[in-house]
Amino acid sequence: MKYEIRIFAKDRNKIIQFADQNGNANLMFTPTEWEDLYYAMGAVIDDEAMKQEDTDKVVAIITVKEIEFEEVMDRMVDDLTPTLTQVLDSTQEQTVFRIAA
């Protein structure tokens, strides 16, 4: 199963894909880091983030075109580890987050 986070804000978008240490995106278990980001996304919209599940991929999405990305981050960081905060703060629109096996 592949896991992805997508955040669409007023001034910036962020896509985080998850992979194991070898770069394999097909993961056996839901990464804890994906779940942490998924729940933190709820703090931005005061609701659960949308979750799309296909046969081989799970994607969490929030679209907040009225809020700048900096404010999105401010609302999420209380629920995130420093490592996840750093990934979220990266200026790259698309990031691959490697999880420990």
Q: Count other Cβ atoms within 10 Å, centred on residue 4.
A: 18
Share of the chain above pLDDT 70, in %: 99
Mean pLDDT of the 21-39 span: 95
pLDDT at 101 over 90: no
| Verdict on whether the full-model pTM lies above 0.85 | yes
Mean pLDDT of the 66-78 span: 96
> Residue 100: what pLDDT?
81
pLDDT at 49 over 70: yes
Which residues lie across from 9 on neighbouring strands? Answer: 64
Burial state string for 12-32 with b = 16 or more CB within 10 A and e = fewer than 16: eebbbbbbeeeeeeebeeebe
